[in-house]
Amino acid sequence: MSGIYEYNAENIKKAAATINNGGLVAFPTETVYGLGANVYDAKAVSNIFAAKQRPHFDPLISHIAEVDFLREYAATDERVFALAKRFWPGPLTFVLRRIEENPSIDLACSGLRTLTVRMPNHPVALDLIRASGVPIVAPSANKYQSISPTTAQHVADGLGDKVDMILDGGACKVGVESTIIDLTGKQIIMLRAGGTAKEDIEEFLGEKVLISEGNPDLPTAPGQLLRHYAPKNLLRINVDIPETDEYFIGFGKVNGNLNLSPSGDLSEAASNLFAYLRLADKNAVSGKIAIAPIPTTGLGLAINDRIKRASYKK
């Protein structure tokens, strides 16, 4: 099993050297823990797909620490920089056109002529990216389609020695992945609901944001597969009254074995979601889990997206 390292200057330097030497480093962001590699090192990126057992057609998100990193490989305009200034660092990912034929990032982009990029709002992530001096591609640090990790121990439990280093930055605050928006056309399209509310983007831009779930057979951004973020046990969603043998996750006034937020706070519910799904998966003796209805406003849109994909039956 790979070691968990505390966040300090010495370990950031060691982790940056690992990235630059083609290794894999798991690190915290405000959303979930990511499994990081140098975006320009195709072999290291390939090792991410292997460690996660993730299909190569599912593109990865690059993480940057400075907006100027975008100029290296992405087509930008005033709208891109305005959104970056307002929402970065933070849980908002852009899909942008690539500006040149750079074969070194083909694998990270799954061969698409677009790339996905964001600036995480976490000191560990930003320090690591700056120390490495390159964009770090980093999907969630878990096995493909399983529950995303929100602590360093979750990463160690799920990936073991497939990771060279795990940097510990405590529990993730947002708890669901970033919102993804496609900025390649005139109309902005949301490809994945996440930690930045659709309403906040619309208010800033003064225009409507369209919603597209994309093509699960040929995704243009992460999180578009029909089944994702899934526990091992059967999961039912939007349940008001659970069956007697179901391990029940409540919300608001609807109580259960666990409650995502007794006060009905969607931010609290989002931060607890993946950790509670893990607990439910561990404690569901019957093999069945149920979860109470969650409102679809604000962060509720992201929560409902995750539990819908987690409950999908093939």
pLDDT value at residue 178: 95
**56 shares its domain with 173:** yes
**122 shares its domain with 26:** yes
CATH no. for residue 97?
3.90.870.10
CATH no. for residue 268?
3.40.50.11030
**167 shares its domain with 282:** no
Q: Is 73 part of a structural domain of the chain?
A: yes
Q: Is 225 part of a structural domain of the chain?
A: no
Structural domain span for residue 256: 234-311
pLDDT value at residue 230: 83
Mean of pLDDT values over 192-221: 86
Which tokens go with 99? 């500006």
**67 shares its domain with 124:** yes
pLDDT above 90 for 193:
yes
Q: Is 135 part of a structural domain of the chain?
A: yes
18, with CB counted inside 10 A (0-12, 13-18, 19+), is buried
- Residues β-bridged to residue 115: 96
Q: How many CB atoms lie within 10 A of CB 281?
A: 18
Of 141, 176, 211, the last residue of a domain is: 211
Q: Total structural domains in the chain? A: 2
pLDDT value at residue 217: 64
**242 shares its domain with 205:** no
**187 shares its domain with 259:** no
**265 shares its domain with 197:** no
**260 shares its domain with 112:** no
Of 176, 211, 246, the last residue of a domain is: 211
Peptide bond into 28 cis (omega under 30): no
Please tell me the pTM assigned to this model.
0.86
Res. 283 pLDDT band, cuts 50 70 90: very high
Sheet containing 258-259: order of strands: 234-236, 288-291, 247-250, 258-259
CA distance linking residue 254 with residue 264, whole number of Å = 9
Q: What is the mean pLDDT of the chain?
A: 93
Q: What are phi and psi of 93, to 5 degrees?
A: -110, 135
Q: Is 18 part of a structural domain of the chain?
A: yes
Task: State how beta strands 189-192 and 210-211 pair.
Answer: parallel
